[in-house]
Amino acid sequence: MSGFRQNITNLSSVTLTKHEHEVLGLGVGFALKPDNNHVLDYIVGFDRFIASNDYDKDLHCLKGVLLQGIADCFKQDRGLPKRLKQAVESLSNYNNIIISRADKGGKLVLLDQCDYEAKALDLLTDRDTYELLTKKSP
């Protein structure tokens, strides 16, 4: 648990649960496979494999065996545990926070949306750093 907390800086007014910390600790690049059933993709790939090589046509009988095995794999729920699915759902309901990757260090930062927008506006209105462009500017 402490490893997850080390990778998250919470500057928002939201108090995260243990499971929300855990799922955020997986990182912003974490993703699950789509829920679509890709059995057809596997069958087409298998057919192309057989067609692109000079294998005996009897290998096509394997398709039925493979199809059942692949279908069984997709029936099993191999996604996140229920507690983490609920944490993802909970995090998605926070409409007033921004979850972003830190500029340095690979951490995640949580900010209240109003603070995030105020900081962005503050940075963009800094005339020492940015110059206002006109329509004639290149």
Structural domain that includes position 66: 36-75
With respect to residue 112, please indicate whether it lies within any of the assigned structural domains: no
Give all strands (DSSP E) within the chain, no chain letters. Answer: 8-10, 97-101, 108-112
With respect to residue 70, please indicate whether it lies within any of the assigned structural domains: yes
pLDDT per residue as tens, the chain (138 positions): 445 556 888 999 999 999 998 888 877 667 666 555 566 666 677 667 666 666 565 555 665 666 666 666 656 555 677 888 888 889 889 989 998 888 887 788 899 999 999 999 999 889 888 887 877 755
With respect to residue 96, please indicate whether it lies within any of the assigned structural domains: no
With respect to residue 47, please indicate whether it lies within any of the assigned structural domains: yes
With respect to residue 61, please indicate whether it lies within any of the assigned structural domains: yes
With respect to residue 109, please indicate whether it lies within any of the assigned structural domains: no
- Packing angle of the helix pair 39-52, 62-75 (nearest 10 deg): 150
With respect to residue 100, please indicate whether it lies within any of the assigned structural domains: no
Q: What distances in angstroms separate CA 84 from CA 100, 114, 124, one per listed residue? A: 19, 27, 37
The residue to which tokens 């507690």 are assigned: 83
C-alpha to C-alpha distance for 66 and 122, rounded to whole angstroms: 59
Number of structural domains (the chain) is: 1
